[in-house]
Structure 1
Amino acid sequence: MTWIFGYGSIIWRPDFPYAERTLAFVANHTRRFWQGSPDHRGTPTSLGRVVTLVPEEGAVCWGFAYRVPPERVDEVMAYLDHRERGGYVRITVPFHRAHAVCANPLHNIKPEDAVESITYIAAPDNEHYLGPDALPRMVKQIAGAAGESGRNADYVINLATHLKEMGLDDPHVFTLAQAVREAVAASSASPIVKIKALGALEDALEEASKAEHAVASSATVSARA
């Protein structure tokens, strides 16, 4: 059987035929907005930021796994190879099914229950890889980027919305999405309101950036290990 594990836009927009969908998680990986998008959410000269999987011991990345009908596998893989272009490559990753989101899923997993799946990641050696950055710079980049699939800001906010609907807590995504919402709102406000909003946003981003930098540094060390 062929399974696809989705942790980004495939969560809410798979756009391919599947016979089954299940809540699932991948162990020892985390979701990070560290990949540049030269097509879907940005352009080659103004990259957006989209998610990739980053190795992190003890971490869990939740998403959905989709079982593809045998007769549609070639069609689906051709579609995904085109969709996940711009630096992504196929990898095989084991996932675990779950009936509901739980706080410590690694405590109860059994190796024999793992199911092999295909997912797409953007490794640090691809030309569009951006890696971690200070939160204010990430927000500025995202707020100003758009591509063939729409605004980068919408991608970030959509992901945060669907993760929250799934009952998940993803501080990296939620912190970034909230800051992006505020930046977009400030950019469309009246001049007086905009000045006040931007001042408050800068203060909030400075505080959030400190926390984000600590998380990014830890994850980078794990990825290099």
Structure 2
Amino acid sequence: MADHSQQLATFGANDDFWLFGYGSLIWKPPPHFDVRVEGFIEGYVRRFWQASEDHRGTPEAPGRVVTLIDRAHWETLTDHHEPTERVWGAAYHIPREKVAEVREYLDIREINGYSIQFTPFIPSSDPTTPIQTLVYIGLPSNPQFLGPQDPDALAAHILKSRGPSGENREYLFQLEEALRGLGEGSGDAHITDLVARCRAIEARGVVKGVEEKGVGEGLHTVGSTDEQEEVEK
């Protein structure tokens, strides 16, 4: 714990603050970054197992967003999907003079169950030179972590969920599109399967729109400036 606390306090002091994004940060970068690098991390599994009460859902009707599960812990669980060997995403370098501001911004945006961890990031352009990155993860011990879910039920839940940052389905669909743009082999079978299930449900017209009772009521829709501040992982 002491080592982690020290790393939290000193990370970025040598102009080496790198942030890894594996969810909406891929297409919604943090403020003040000056370098964006595409690549992947290993030893984790990305899953839509984190409840979202503040962006893609509400406290009364939480949506679903991605988190990372340590591979060793994932192997103790019963999952409907096989894991990918790598979790693709984007790493952002924050200049030293902006680190405090960005850290404050990220800490505020990640209060809904996420905690700071550190992991090596492997740039696709130079796999021989890993970069130590900070990453926000919804650990299994946090109250928003939901664990394994039936894929059809999860897809249906995503389709009906909505929060201040928009429809939950947009988050899923944009994530799949963003991952495809990262390079060969950058897809995620869990994400692709959920998209296919959502499309199938939509085609059948099974799930009602977000106007159904208890979903989307009393929401404040953020503007474009505020929406840029959405940081989910």
| TM-score scaled by length of structure 2 | 0.72
Find the counterpart in structure 2 of residue 117 from structure 1.
133
Tell me the percent identity. 38
Deviation at 1:169, TM superposition (A): 2.4
Aligned pair 1:183/2:174, yes or no?
A: no
Find the counterpart in structure 2 of residue 133 from structure 1.
149
Aligned pair 1:69/2:95, yes or no?
A: yes
- SS for the counterpart of 2:42 is strand
- SS for the counterpart of 1:32 is strand
The partner residue of 2:181 within 160, 165, 169 is 165
CA offsets per residue over residues 19-38 of structure 1, 9 Å max, x none? 11111211111211110101
Higher share in strand: 1
Whether contact under 8 Å (1:88, 1:122) holds in the other structure is yes
Deviation at 1:181, TM superposition (A): 2.7
Distance 1:140 1:93 in 2: 33
CA offsets per residue over residues 1-56 of structure 1, 9 Å max, x none? 10000000000001411111111211111211110101100111211110011122
- SS for the counterpart of 2:120 is strand
Aligned partner of 2:170: which letter? D
Distance 2:30 2:93 in 1: 13
Find the counterpart in structure 2 of residue 211 from structure 1.
none
Mind listing any 5+ residue stretches in structure 2 that lack a counterpart?
A: 1-15, 73-83, 208-233
Distance 1:139 1:72 in 2: 38
Whether contact under 8 Å (1:157, 1:181) holds in the other structure is no
Deviation at 1:59, TM superposition (A): 2.8
Query: Which shifted more, 177-186 or 156-165?
Result: 177-186
Distance 2:55 2:36 in 1: 24
Aligned partner of 2:67: which letter? T
Aligned length: 179
Find the counterpart in structure 2 of residue 85 from structure 1.
111
Whether contact under 8 Å (2:36, 2:93) holds in the other structure is yes
Higher RCO by CA contacts (8 Å cutoff, separation 6 or greater): 2
Distance 1:77 1:188 in 2: 42
Higher share in helix: 1
Whether contact under 8 Å (1:35, 1:130) holds in the other structure is yes
